Every structure is written in C-alpha cells, then in structure tokens.
Amino acid sequence: MAHDALALLAQGNPLQRPRNLEEMLAGVAPLLPMLDVIPNAVIFIKDLDARYRLANRTLVQRCGFKRLQPLLGKTSAQVFPAQLGPGYTEQDRRVLEEGLVLEDQLELHLYGSREPGWCLTHKQPIYDRHQQIIGLAGISVDLQSASAAHPAYRRLAAVDEYIRGHFSGPVSMQALTRIAGISVAQLERYCKRVFHLTPRQMLHKVRLEHAHRLLLSDLPITDVAMQCGYTDHSAFSRQFKTLTGFTPRQYRQATAR
C-alpha cells in the first residue's frame, strides 16, 4: 500500500534515519523520475516551515507550474486556491509541531481543471536519528471509481443510493446493514474494497458535496447545515473544517474573493 511505503520513508529504522532533511532529499531524489509517472497521486516532502522541498510531476502540474523549481520553497497556502490552500498548510503545521499522523484522511482537493475532487491523504512526520521532526512526507491519492466487478457491488450500490437519498437526515449503520443484508464488519470491509471509503466517509462525502454547492449561494450557514443533515451549526463547522481546512464561513468568503 502507498501509505505503508510512506510510513517507511518518513520513519524507518532509527539507525537508518537521515541526519538532516538535506540528506533525506538527496536519498529520495533518484526516485523522482519514478514518482513523476504516477498520474493519480501527488507525492511531496516539506521542511519545518511547511515549504515544498520535493514534489512529483502530478503535484507540480496541479499547482499550475510547468517545472518543479518554481514550486520549491512555497507552502500550500501560496500555490493552492484560497478556498483550500491555507487549510492544507494548517494541517502541515500540526504534523510538524504535534507529530500528527494522517491515514486515509478524506479531503476535498482541486484538480488540474480547478474542479473539486476527492483524495485520500496520508502524511507522516520525518524524524532524524535523534527522534526530532525535520519535515514531513505526504501522498494524496485520487479517490478511485467504484469497483463494479466486486461480488457485493449490487448490495453496496443500494447502500450508496440510500445515503444519497437520505443524507439530509440521520443515517444509521443499522439501516445500511439492513439494506445490504450483511454485518457491520462486512459492510465496512466491502465498502472499502468497492468505494475505497468507509460508510461514514461516504456519508461525509455526499454531505460536503451538497454543502459546497449551497455555500456558493446566499443561504444562511445554519440552513446549509440543516439541509446537509447536521443537527447544529457547530457540528457542521467541525466536520467541514476537518475535510477542507476551513470553516463554512471562511470557505464562503474565500470563494467570494
């Protein structure tokens, strides 16, 4: 798995860890031509100031550059659209300052077309031989299409349809398992294999897609929250910020700019 390789790259054996970030970059640089041919994932290394020090071609292109060099030394907040960039940088700082490890973090990104898309993000702090954080390594993989060939696809397609039709109200695991006719553990496992998301992530994804559209209007944020299935404004704001790095109000203001 990609995130397993990332964990090995970022942490590794204490005796094999780099003395500093420059040594780490020198060791990874020969791999960059291989990383450049991966079209559905952005791969990067950042320093303690959350600035890009290495990135693959997919990330370079999605940031609007033709070459790697202009991207180096910049933060996500400086190169991504105002709706999202500062949120990525805030997340980076938590990894760098708190040692936060992200695994399978569902996130809203903007692709090369500047249209919203979905990724699963993994980030790990990079440690030196003295167990000090010297940077971070990350990978964001585009959310893949559903695997229609899976034997359980029809059952899970019904689950997906139910979520899309009922996301504005409570959606319980009991209701989803009843539709699929399988246990909670099986539902979790099969949804990951078919949709590459947990049932809870599927629900968050649908709700946030709807919120993204509503926030482009003048509808009060409290009403947006209610229409997206959240019982109160604060719960909606917390979840929205988790997936975008912005509160709904900040996102609306950035979009308006």
Task: Give the lowest-confidence range in 35-39, 54-58, 242-246.
Answer: 242-246
Among 6, 78, 84, 80, which Cα is nearest to 38's?
6
Domain shared by 171 and 225, yes or no = yes
148 found inside a domain:
no
243 pLDDT band, cuts 50/70/90, is confident
The CA distance from 133 to 156, in Å, is: 42
Domain shared by 187 and 116, yes or no = no
The CA distance from 233 to 191, in Å, is: 29
pLDDT higher for 129 or 257?
A: 129
Domain shared by 136 and 227, yes or no = no
The CATH code of the domain that includes 50 is 3.30.450.20
Residue 211 is inside which H or E element, if any? helix 199-214
Domain shared by 101 and 8, yes or no = yes
Among 137, 109, 116, which Cα is nearest to 4's?
137
Domain shared by 249 and 169, yes or no = yes
Q: Provide the pLDDT for residue 30.
A: 93
Domain shared by 105 and 209, yes or no = no
Domain hosting residue 137, numbered range? 2-142
Q: Provide the pLDDT for residue 197.
A: 94
99 found inside a domain:
yes
Domain shared by 120 and 160, yes or no = no
50 found inside a domain:
yes
pLDDT above 70 for 6: no
What is the arithmetic mean of pLDDT over 44-52?
A: 97
Domain shared by 208 and 136, yes or no = no
Contact (CB, 8 A) for 229 and 209: no
147 found inside a domain:
no
What lies within 8 Å, CB to CB, of 251 at 6+ separation is 83, 215, 240, 244
What SS3 state is found at 138? Answer: strand
What SS3 state is found at 123? Answer: strand
159 pLDDT band, cuts 50/70/90, is very high
11 pLDDT band, cuts 50/70/90, is low
pLDDT above 90 for 127: yes
Tally of structural domains, the chain: 2
The CATH code of the domain that includes 179 is 1.10.10.60
What is the arithmetic mean of pLDDT over 8-32?
A: 80
Q: Provide the pLDDT for residue 211.
A: 93
Q: Which residue has the tokens 């109000």?
A: 249
Complete DSSP assignment for 223-247: HHHHHTT-SSHHHHHHHHHHHHSS-
Checking DSSP bridges between strand 52-55 and strand 116-127, what pairing results, if any?
Answer: unpaired
Average pLDDT, the chain: 88
Domain shared by 135 and 10, yes or no = yes
- pTM for the predicted model, two decimal places: 0.79
Q: Which long-range contacts (CB under 8 A, 24 or more apart) does 215-223 make?
A: 215/248, 215/251, 215/252, 215/255, 216/252, 216/255, 221/248, 221/249, 221/252
What are the Cα distances from residue 251, in Å, to 27, 55, 207, 243, 245?
Answer: 39, 26, 15, 12, 9
Among 130, 169, 108, 173, which Cα is nearest to 15's?
130
Geometric angle at alpha carbon 65, from 83 and 115, rounded to 5°: 40
pLDDT above 70 for 115: no
